[in-house]
Structure 1
């Protein structure tokens, strides 16, 4: 089975939907399928001659979710070429129905577009709005000290969601940031991408960045984005700072969170 699937993967044309194999036992084969599914996407800002974002070759997270029946899933990031800042993510997962889905989330502060061989697939509105982290210290002088600050600031936030519309669940902050990024002298001096999960399934992402204020002084800012269509809320030190209503499984290609069926395993 693995050899047949690998041959199918190699023969597929760029931008072509890869046929879904019968659910393979080998996790490496499933990962190759998921990586091949996201590789053709060309994602960039809609303004000017913006360079394409870079797809990170390996997923930042791999999971399954026995509660929802998801048997395998991987999360991929596209990042800004200059700062390494994450701008878009896809969570690919295999649903209990046998469908493989792409859940898109915009992490960008500006409009972006995703294309495959010139065909537009997704043109979301900006996905993240940044706010000052209240009472935050000034960003430290060294990267190691700033990482300690980033972790401490992330722990001031909590998140919940109404998972499966079955009542509110407290999400847990995953212990390690998915990504550290930034570039001295740019609009994002330093930053990290964190995730809140139910079990192992990420439902909300938190970005904390050292960004210049209008006067040019670097200060810590935060932004939040969903990785689910269920209702979500986030809190800073117990005070609600962000909420999104239940949005079903959005099929609106302008939605910053967008669910797209990718392929169906043969029956």
Structure 2
């Protein structure tokens, strides 16, 4: 009995040490992500994008290892134009990475610590949802409409090493960002995230916007990636988006002329 108590005491002590280490790692990752995000300056033409200083999501993925990330966006006139998932590995890797995706319909440029690091064409195409009901005049009703439309989308990821294996991504129940832009003719907009398993790590992004043109308001959608996997998206069982796997080879995701870019850097643990 005494041996059992000693064993349990050791287990509890080890768990406490591991828990404390995980909390320290998460805190360190948050600090590093903030520093990295602050160092990024993004532009659409001559207009500087606004860095939204509070992360939209904070995530970890214990299945893959000890990794912690924060998700930030940059906006122009209220609309999200770029998104970055900035994460730090502690095990089995030790590097830090910044995973960027343009959400813009125009060209973007970016400096990182003062040096040009990204110059890309449009990141996504906003397409008309011709069969969707007209956007409501009431914000609450528009919110319900966006949720109903988002439920029509099913996103899947293909296994990196086995193209015959795919899995469904989980859509977070609430949009990760809600916005409007009178200057851009966006009466209402929301960004939804599709994530892997039970994590909050976004893999596919869905933008829904009620756009006003020539006195008429209609729903539009756009899709963007947040991983180099192949993604397939269906809406009401119709294939609407199929983007290829980008890596390996890994240098393919380090090209600063592409709308999806990964910047890998070393950082002290």
Task: Give the 3-state SS of the residue equivalent to 1:180 in structure 2.
Answer: strand
Q: 2:211 — aligned with what?
A: 211
Extract unaligned runs of 5+ from structure 2.
1-20
Task: Give the 3-state SS of the residue equivalent to 1:182 in structure 2.
Answer: strand
Say if 1:117 and 1:93 are closer, same or farther in 2 by CA, change over 3 A.
closer
Q: 2:187 — aligned with what?
A: 189
Q: 1:158–1:236: 8 Å Cα contact kept in structure 2? A: yes
Q: What is the alpha-carbon distance in structure 2 between the residues aligned to residue 24 and residue 170 of structure 1?
A: 30
Which structure has the bigger radius of gyration? 2
Residue number among 99, 105, 108 corresponding to 2:101 in the alignment: 105
Q: 2:56 — aligned with what?
A: 60
Task: State the 1:224 CA deviation.
Answer: 0.1
Task: State the 1:206 CA deviation.
Answer: 0.1
**Over residues 33-89 of structure 1, what are the superposed CA-to-partner deviations in whole Å (9 max), with x where a residue is unaligned?**
21111102110113xx32x11111111001111233252111111111x2x111111
TM-score (normalised: structure 1): 0.84
Q: What is the alpha-carbon distance in structure 2 between the residues aligned to residue 70 and residue 234 of structure 1?
A: 29
Residue number among 165, 169, 188 corresponding to 1:171 in the alignment: 169
Q: 2:29–2:88: 8 Å Cα contact kept in structure 1? A: no
2:224 equivalent to 1:251: no
Q: 2:157–2:229: 8 Å Cα contact kept in structure 1? A: yes
Q: 1:89–1:104: 8 Å Cα contact kept in structure 2? A: yes
Moved >6 Å (runs of 4+): none
Say if 1:134 and 1:172 are closer, same or farther in 2 by CA, change over 3 A.
farther
Task: Determine which structure has the larger helix proportion and give its number.
Answer: 2
Say if 1:70 and 1:204 are closer, same or farther in 2 by CA, change over 3 A.
farther
Task: State the 1:218 CA deviation.
Answer: 0.9
Q: 1:202 — aligned with what?
A: 202
RMSD: 1.9
Task: State the 1:138 CA deviation.
Answer: 0.5
